[in-house]
Homo-oligomer: A and B are copies of this chain.
Amino acid sequence: MTVRQPLEPLPPDLFEELCPSAMVPFRFGDKWSALVIRCLEDGPRRFSELRVPLHRVTPKMLTQTLRGLERSGLVSRTAHADPALGVEYALTPLGRSLLEPMRVVYGWVAEHWEELLDAQERYDTPALRNPA
């Protein structure tokens, strides 16, 4: 029979080892970043263009989100010389390289979100947890 290893499989420095992965919540754990990236998938967009699909976002949050993505090198901001052309946001190559991994996660969610909701309902409903 397989005896589970006491502690060895989990090196004490696992936290450090996984540190890069801790950047995931750091950068994409917020409410809007992932959505903004998807909205830029088909090409550059202007500030007010982005507000349409994300119709619940306030200008403050959109600015904040875009600054964060810009800071991480995922999104570029270009203010045209002609102000009439507005300010355009676009994915950088780095940002674009994120689309595929994101699609994988979205695919999982799309496939399993009913299960997640069902589980939550069971967990939250005492009656369903102790079936007669």
Contact = CB atoms under 8 A, between A and B. Distances in A.
Question: How many copies of this protein are present in the complex?
Answer: 2
B105 A52 contact: no
Nearest to A49: B7
A17 B73 CA distance: 27
A25 B23 contact: no
Interface residues of A, number: 63
Given A43-B4, A120-B71, A35 B53 contact: no
Contact of A23 (B22, B30, B45, B113): B113
B23 A34 contact: no
Given A20-B110, A97-B112, A72 B119 contact: yes
Given A38-B18, A115-B94, A104 B104 contact: yes
Interface of A: 4, 7, 9-15, 18, 20-25, 27-31, 34-35, 38-39, 42-45, 49, 52-56, 70-74, 94, 97-98, 100-102, 104-110, 112-113, 115-116, 118-120, 122-124
Contacts of A98: 108
Q: Report the 3 A-B pairs with minimum CB-CB distance, sorted nearest first.
A: A73-B119, A29-B29, A14-B53
